[in-house]
Structure 1
Amino acid sequence: MTIPIAVPSFSNKLAPFPSVFSSFVMESVRPERSSVKKDSGERPKPASRNRARKSSHGTSRRSILKKSFAQEQVDFTGPVRDDPVVGIIGGGMSGLICAQELEKRGVRSTVFDTGMHGLGGRMATRMIEPERLVFDHAAQFFTVSDDRFAAMVKGWLDEGLVQDWSGAIGELRAGGHFLPIPSTPHRYIGVGGMRLLADSLLSKNSLVDVVRPCWVSKLEPFNGMWHLSENGKHCGQFDAIVIAHNGKCANRLLASSGLPLIARQMKRLQLSSIWALLAAFEDPLPFLERDGFLPFEGAFVKGVDSISWMGNNSKKLLNSQGNFPHCWTFISTSEFGKRNKVPQENIPNATAEKVKAAMLEGVEIALGIPNGSLPKPFFSRVQLWGAALPINSPRIPCIFDPRGRAGICGDWLLGSNLESAALSGMSLANHIADYFQNGGSRPDEFAVGLHKEFQPLEGQDIGQFPGLAAENQASEAENYQLTT
């Protein structure tokens, strides 16, 4: 049987604004169109030509928006192949679960991830030997509220990939006032760290390929397929694509891809920036004997400008006793991240030292100990998560453009936690599989979330956890104290 291969057509019918001059030009499709402007009588300035040759790393948000809204819509009109393949850009929880669920439906996929040390995105764990230092430096734990995610977590428990975290967690107010939070809902952590969970998710999958480190820099539709490349190097061709990451890199990738509706929705997303400080101490942190509480393993910090979370990784991940180092992760507030934001790819030493000093001072304020009395860590490192947590959300599990055969998944679509990420990846995978099963016909029936409005999100600076809503934490803690 001969499979017809269709060349994508371009139409403005789905574009949010009229396209006067498309920023997406393919010589093989529209060779008669030129990107050279008519002579205006003025000699072009060399500086302008230099800017044109530069990569998109220097592109402003305004120019990206302009390109995104002006581009023409890719419209794949041919039938889907009998054995389609999906390209998934991003190897965080949502991308990994999307690949896993596609395999369950018999669909092959390739996951592209930028991670140098492993998969996982914000499921990041840093291990340093031989000192035996370990830090979860993004996602700290997760909770379960959805039955589908509960079934998935049960499988991870049976495999020994995750475990229940029963350590003392609560709310720490400036001055060392600690209010414990009840142990329900259960809190889960990756055994040995969150990254090990991420690396294990696809270990038994036969229909999933993983390519890393790889930073997909261009998407091009040609002959009914999406062609992906990294700085000019071809990375493969796919029947559909999934964008499983966000931030400025995703915005640049979509700016001239031929997916204006997808690009517009991604542009609506507002993200906060937060700093993570990893610090290892020889001795336990000094806790004042106040309110009769024992040293905690994790705390949401209130009333401190620079700190929103502090967690003892050694207790959480190693259950260390005795002379082992005490490894803490301190996470800043979003306001502190906003005030001290710099390009995360190139953090100046002066900024790193300033942030470190301010966050350690914040730890002293939170614990209620005198200024300068906190022991000096023998190891420390700061990291800026520039696209950390969503400020707004469409509150839908996924977005899918059937004409462009492209979708988006991620925790930000539903909230900001690992459960949201998993449900999003699961939803998009099944939606794409249904679309393939339908053969790609009647595409408008499969459009999801392309015009969904965004709503503000509220919650903890480190994420929103079902059952641990910020407005309920204080009352829950007080009720807990009254009943014990």
Structure 2
Amino acid sequence: MLCSAHFNVPSSLFLRPLNTSQLTTTPNFITTLRRANPTITCNSQPSPKPRKRPAMDGQKPTSRNRRKSSYGASRRSILKKTFTQEQVNFTAPVSDDPVVGIIGGGMAGLLCALNLETRGVRSTVFDTGIHGLGGRMGTRIIDPQPLIFDHAAQFFTVSDPRFAELVQGWSEEGLVRQWLGTVGELEAGGHFVPLPSSPPRYVAVNGMRLLADSILSQTRMIDVVRPCWISKLEPYNGMWYLSENGKPRGQFDAIVIAHNGKCANRLLALSGLPLIARQMKRLELSSIWALLAAFDDPLPVPGSDGFPLEGAFVKGVDSVSWMANNTKKLLGSSIDGRNCWTFFSTAAFGKRNKVPQENIPSAAAEKVKAGMLEGVEVALGLSEGSLPRPFYTRLQLWGAALPTNTPGIPCIFDPQGRAGICGDWLLGSSLESAALSGMALANHIADYFQNSGLNAEEFAVGLHKEFQPLEGHDIGQFPGLESEKKGSKAMEYQLTT
């Protein structure tokens, strides 16, 4: 893919995962996935709430009561405000000890914070997660059984040497391992074809969220505030003031948007960053349903050489595109005969059945669950009504799941507004893409700070980059994973990350 800028990131800038012997003494480390972390608050005192709306450098402040919130506004009004807002232009010098506000605590946001720290830059990460950080590196453990599900990213592959170094460190610390179970294509009717074992497929040993916990455990210069939903960005006197529903959340020399979707669009609609807002609005996202289901007995799945499938990309079924036995994948065997499965819908099914993900109507949830379980039945080639009934189910809608287009660049940065964007969608849609994006933006911002903000125009990246369609399967990418079918073009498979 073509990039508008090249980032030469020394391998020495990437920290290795913390030795597991240190985990019990590390204050920030999340020691268990079974307990929700308490809210971690920013160490610095929040800035006093200004009496007038903060203004951009060189712009006269305006009365706060003349500005209505964009929340609840129509898409048309948000677009109009986004593209007509005045560009903020910070002229004040960068402080000697700059601090970055990072909105989003997924892989991209956390690695951005971690790599900023390696360059001596402090940051605060704001995340909406109630149960923990990680975004789509989500793992759910249901007590008292216990049941375990990766309900977003299922596995990942490695193709870039910078990401390979990070994964190697995780592997040496026992945080990740190769998934050696049988994975392949499952066509409607139970026709299964295994994928080759190369490239290696990796999983986090105790669920994907452990990787987010590990990244955070390495830090000493990063504050975390969660659960927190930043609702406003305001530039004033060379700083960004962040707030959550009127509550000040601190001031920062630069900001990073490490999430996407309608909330990010609304956040940027009146921020004074029209170039960044315009690029974010170009992003098109799919919707994907995730169904977690636990069965008392093993499902009658096909296999290869006597080994039943543990994961499959489903073909020819309208409601299901992926299925995986998380119990086998993570634990190697079922618990008391129980098997925990994660099923993903197709993007088309997700679009047809999309509802507000914050408040899913019961009727919609039952319709989706029934449709997906019927799809599993068809995929396995079972007769109607013969699929075993799960004793536990849980639905989640990823309303802004995966990109259908991409600019194909590591990151976006507006030096005039001292604001950047990172995320997997900038390079595609994979765990590796998210990691590389966060690393790239961190080093770019550190270089900008090191240059004291001078010659700002030289640090502009991706503000006018055109987007291209992102081809492949409905739900995410696995760099390097290809099917070996004679006479057909190799396909790049994707999965939620």
> Normalised by the size of structure 1, how large is the TM-score?
0.87
Cα pair distance change 1:34/1:299, threshold 3 Å: closer
1:303 equivalent in alignment to 2:316:
yes
**What one-letter code is carried by the residue in structure 2 that aligns with 1:444?**
E
* Residue of structure 1 aligned with 2:352, choices 334, 339, 354: 339
* Residue of structure 2 aligned with 1:186, choices 180, 200, 215: 200
- Residue 476 of structure 1, CA deviation: 11
Cα distance in 2, alignment partners of residues 272 and 35 from structure 1: 36
Tell me if the contact between 1:271 and 1:388 (Cα under 8 Å) persists in the aligned partners: yes
Misfit runs of 4+, over 4 Å? 23-29, 31-36, 290-293, 473-479
Cα pair distance change 1:278/1:322, threshold 3 Å: closer
- Residue 384 of structure 1, CA deviation: 0.4
- Residue 126 of structure 1, CA deviation: 0.7
Report the counterpart of residue 462 of structure 1 in structure 2: 475
- Where do 1:64-463 residues align within 5 Å? 64-287=78-301, 294-321=307-334, 323-463=336-476
Cα pair distance change 1:305/1:167, threshold 3 Å: same
Cα distance in 2, alignment partners of residues 89 and 126 from structure 1: 23
SS in 2 for 1:370: coil
Tell me if the contact between 2:292 and 2:340 (Cα under 8 Å) persists in the aligned partners: yes
SS in 2 for 1:216: coil
Report the counterpart of residue 60 of structure 2 in structure 1: 30
**What one-letter code is carried by the residue in structure 2 that aligns with 1:372?**
G
Tell me if the contact between 1:182 and 1:477 (Cα under 8 Å) persists in the aligned partners: no
Q: Which structure has the bigger radius of gyration?
A: 1
Cα pair distance change 1:126/1:57, threshold 3 Å: farther
Cα distance in 2, alignment partners of residues 223 and 257 from structure 1: 14
- Residue 279 of structure 1, CA deviation: 0.2
Cα pair distance change 1:322/1:351, threshold 3 Å: closer
Cα distance in 2, alignment partners of residues 200 and 477 from structure 1: 41
Cα distance in 1, alignment partners of residues 465 and 204 from structure 2: 34
Tell me if the contact between 2:408 and 2:428 (Cα under 8 Å) persists in the aligned partners: yes
Cα distance in 2, alignment partners of residues 70 and 147 from structure 1: 42
Tell me if the contact between 1:299 and 1:311 (Cα under 8 Å) persists in the aligned partners: yes
Query: Per-residue displacement from partner, 1:321-344 (whole Å, max 9, x unpaired)?
Result: 462410000000000000000110
Q: Mark the runs of 5 or more structure 1 residues left unpaired by the alignment.
A: 1-22, 37-51, 480-484
Cα distance in 1, alignment partners of residues 291 and 141 from structure 2: 14
Cα distance in 2, alignment partners of residues 34 and 90 from structure 1: 27
- Residue 477 of structure 1, CA deviation: 12
Cα distance in 2, alignment partners of residues 321 and 217 from structure 1: 43
Cα pair distance change 1:162/1:454, threshold 3 Å: same
Query: Per-residue displacement from partner, 1:344-403 (whole Å, max 9, x unpaired)?
Result: 011000000000000000001000010100011000011100000000000000000000
SS in 2 for 1:74: coil
Cα distance in 1, alignment partners of residues 122 and 453 from structure 2: 17
- Residue 25 of structure 1, CA deviation: 6.5
Cα distance in 1, alignment partners of residues 248 and 435 from structure 2: 29
**What one-letter code is carried by the residue in structure 1 that aligns with 2:218?**
K
Cα distance in 1, alignment partners of residues 168 and 487 from structure 2: 27
- Residue 33 of structure 1, CA deviation: 7.6
**What one-letter code is carried by the residue in structure 2 that aligns with 1:282?**
D
Report the counterpart of residue 41 of structure 2 in structure 1: none
- Residue 405 of structure 1, CA deviation: 0.2
Q: Mark the runs of 5 or more structure 2 residues left unpaired by the alignment.
A: 1-52, 491-497
Tell me if the contact between 1:191 and 1:197 (Cα under 8 Å) persists in the aligned partners: no
Report the counterpart of residue 7 of structure 1 in structure 2: none
**What one-letter code is carried by the residue in structure 2 that aligns with 1:139?**
A
Query: Per-residue displacement from partner, 1:50-79 (whole Å, max 9, x unpaired)?
Result: xx96x5442222111111101000001121
Tell me if the contact between 2:403 and 2:428 (Cα under 8 Å) persists in the aligned partners: yes
Tell me if the contact between 2:423 and 2:438 (Cα under 8 Å) persists in the aligned partners: yes
Query: Per-residue displacement from partner, 1:199-242 (whole Å, max 9, x unpaired)?
Result: 22111210111111111010011111101110111111100000
Cα pair distance change 1:71/1:310, threshold 3 Å: same
Cα distance in 1, alignment partners of residues 339 and 62 from structure 2: 65
- Residue 128 of structure 1, CA deviation: 0.4
SS in 1 for 2:117: helix
SS in 2 for 1:73: coil
- Across the aligned residues of Structure 1 and Structure 2, the Cα RMSD in angstroms comes to 2.2
- Residue 122 of structure 1, CA deviation: 0.6
Cα distance in 1, alignment partners of residues 357 and 94 from structure 2: 40
Tell me if the contact between 1:178 and 1:293 (Cα under 8 Å) persists in the aligned partners: no
**What one-letter code is carried by the residue in structure 2 that aligns with 1:269?**
L
Tell me if the contact between 2:54 and 2:236 (Cα under 8 Å) persists in the aligned partners: no
SS in 2 for 1:423: helix
SS in 2 for 1:295: strand
- Residue 313 of structure 1, CA deviation: 0.3
Report the counterpart of residue 59 of structure 1 in structure 2: 73
Cα pair distance change 1:475/1:285, threshold 3 Å: farther
Report the counterpart of residue 20 of structure 1 in structure 2: none
Query: Per-residue displacement from partner, 1:387-427 (whole Å, max 9, x unpaired)?
Result: 00000000000000000000000000000000000000000
- Residue 274 of structure 1, CA deviation: 0.4
Identity %: 73
**What one-letter code is carried by the residue in structure 1 that aligns with 2:273?**
L
Tell me if the contact between 1:179 and 1:474 (Cα under 8 Å) persists in the aligned partners: no
Tell me if the contact between 2:235 and 2:241 (Cα under 8 Å) persists in the aligned partners: yes
- Residue 172 of structure 1, CA deviation: 0.4
Cα pair distance change 1:157/1:405, threshold 3 Å: same
Tell me if the contact between 1:229 and 1:236 (Cα under 8 Å) persists in the aligned partners: yes
SS in 2 for 1:387: coil
